Amino acid sequence: MKMQKLADMLSSHDLNEIFEHVHTGIALLERDGTPLSWNTAFEFVKKSFNLEIKLETLLPPEERDSGLAKISNGIMHHWVGEFQIAGEEGVTLCSCMALPISNGRVLLIIESIESEFAVKKVIIKLSRQVKLFRIESEFTKKLAQNKQIEMEAVMAQASEVAHVDPLTFLPNRRTIVRELQDEVLRAERYPSQLSISIVDVDHFKNINDTYGHPIGDEVLRQVAYQLRDQVRHPDMVGRYGGEEFLIILPNSDKRAAAEQADRLCRQMRETVITVKGHKINVTLSIGVAQLKTGNDTWDSLLNRADNAMYETKNMGRDAWSIAD
């Protein structure tokens, strides 16, 4: 009731001033996604957003149908989705709400989720909404149960997006680097050995140019499966970027890491990857580095392994090198 009184007292000018000072993107759309107006914060989604650009251009191809459906069906929706953010590569996870208003139009509210902390804030907000529903009627209690299911789905989706590389299903760059940071701290706190390997797929650009990117993606997936299956527990492998992978070997010196690198090179050399009738041979170049306690940071350790990997490439590829 208090919010209703406040809403009754606010003028259109007041609302305009409020919308311009919030950090959440707000846009008024037609049901087909055509923008009518938006606040300054909404421009974080696309600085070139204008009256001729429909919302579907901001959505990744795989999310366009579902995203437009949520906007056009005249029902309030709250979900977590991906948008192509201005000035950034790829897509960004966002908390989204589509709120139907008069004249068949829709108020779209978007807030970027930039960290796990922000994901938790979204989940807390949903949890508060669930608590409000529970004090309502029996019908509202059923809605609360549905909201709880939706919230759990949001948590699962957010966790997957935040931690897993969608192509290889390995830990993504952010996750594997965070694991490396934790392992460096652990090795320094409880003196122990730690080694890493940076693995690069040789001549991967040639594979893409020869067979096309879809087949190149499948080659990366199969390389990822090979790496995951060949590393021991508790070693961890993640996608470091592009055609590069990072392997973390806790409690291992550079000799053990080199033995693993040799085995991975041999295994990949002897494997023929078959994709859509094409038989493709793949080799690896690997750079190995052992943590120098007291001298290395996680960043310098990565740089040493990366330099060793490029040294391997300069020597002819399909091999491994150990950093000094």
Query: Do 105 and 240 belong together in one domain?
Result: no
Burial 271-294 (b: 16+ CB within 10 A, else e): eebebeeeebebebbbbbbbbeee
| Per-residue model confidence (pLDDT) at position 74 | 74
| Strand partners of residue 34 | none
Chain centroid offset of residue 319 CA:
31
* pLDDT classification of 52: cutoffs 50, 70, 90: low
| Per-residue model confidence (pLDDT) at position 34 | 82
* pLDDT classification of 27: cutoffs 50, 70, 90: confident
Q: Is the Cβ–Cβ distance between 21 and 29 less than 8 Å?
A: no
Range of the domain at 181: 173-322
The answer to pTM > 0.85 is: no
Coil vs helix vs strand at 27: strand
Query: Do 152 and 178 belong together in one domain?
Result: no
For the ranges 37-51, 105-119, 195-209, the lowest mean pLDDT is seen at 37-51
**How confident is the model over 249-254, as a mean pLDDT?**
96
Coil vs helix vs strand at 124: helix
Residue 168 belongs to a domain: no
Query: Do 275 and 304 belong together in one domain?
Result: yes
Query: Percentage of the chain with pLDDT > 90?
Result: 47
Catalytic one of 82, 183, 218, 243 = 243
Query: Is-cis flag, bond preceding 234, omega within 30?
Result: yes
Domain boundary among the residues 132, 163, 194 is at 163
Query: Do 287 and 151 belong together in one domain?
Result: no
| Per-residue model confidence (pLDDT) at position 268 | 96
* DSSP assignment letter at 171: B
Residue 130 belongs to a domain: yes
* pLDDT classification of 13: cutoffs 50, 70, 90: low
Domain boundary among the residues 163, 190, 209 is at 163
For the ranges 85-94, 238-247, 281-290, the lowest mean pLDDT is seen at 85-94
Q: Is the Cβ–Cβ distance between 182 and 174 less than 8 Å?
A: no
Arithmetic mean of pLDDT over the chain: 81
Q: Is the Cβ–Cβ distance between 247 and 227 less than 8 Å?
A: yes
Domain boundary among the residues 163, 197, 232 is at 163
Q: Is the Cβ–Cβ distance between 220 and 280 less than 8 Å?
A: no
166 contacts: CB under 8 Å, gap ≥ 6:
none
Chain centroid offset of residue 205 CA:
23
Comparing 69 with 160, which gets the higher pLDDT? 69
Number of domains in the chain: 2
Residue 180 has pLDDT above 90, yes or no: yes
Q: Is the Cβ–Cβ distance between 280 and 211 less than 8 Å?
A: yes
Whole-number Å distance between alpha carbons of 285 and 198:
8
Beta-strand runs (E) in 137-222:
194-201
| Per-residue model confidence (pLDDT) at position 53 | 60
| Per-residue model confidence (pLDDT) at position 110 | 81
**How confident is the model over 156-185, as a mean pLDDT?**
85
pLDDT tens-digit series, residues 76-110 = 777 777 666 555 555 667 778 888 887 788 888 88
Please confirm, yes or no, whether 270 is among the known catalytic residues: no
At 244, which CATH number?
Answer: 3.30.70.270
Q: What tokens were used for 18?
A: 């409020």
Q: Is the Cβ–Cβ distance between 90 and 125 less than 8 Å?
A: no
**How confident is the model over 235-253, as a mean pLDDT?**
95
Residue 192 belongs to a domain: yes
Enclosing H/E stretch for 248: strand 244-250
Query: Do 25 and 74 belong together in one domain?
Result: yes
For the ranges 118-122, 139-143, 306-310, the lowest mean pLDDT is seen at 118-122
**How confident is the model over 181-203, as a mean pLDDT?**
95
Whole-number Å distance between alpha carbons of 242 and 253:
27
* DSSP assignment letter at 232: P
| Per-residue model confidence (pLDDT) at position 138 | 61
Q: Is the Cβ–Cβ distance between 249 and 197 less than 8 Å?
A: yes
Coil vs helix vs strand at 73: coil
Whole-number Å distance between alpha carbons of 280 and 271:
9
Whole-number Å distance between alpha carbons of 179 and 164:
13
**How confident is the model over 296-309, as a mean pLDDT?**
96
Whole-number Å distance between alpha carbons of 117 and 248:
25
| Strand partners of residue 107 | 28, 99
* pLDDT classification of 26: cutoffs 50, 70, 90: confident
Coil vs helix vs strand at 135: coil
Q: Is the Cβ–Cβ distance between 283 and 240 less than 8 Å?
A: no
| Per-residue model confidence (pLDDT) at position 97 | 82
Residue 7 has pLDDT above 60, yes or no: no
Output phi, psi for 20, to 5 deg.
-75, -15
Query: Do 157 and 77 belong together in one domain?
Result: yes
Query: Do 159 and 185 belong together in one domain?
Result: no
| Per-residue model confidence (pLDDT) at position 157 | 55
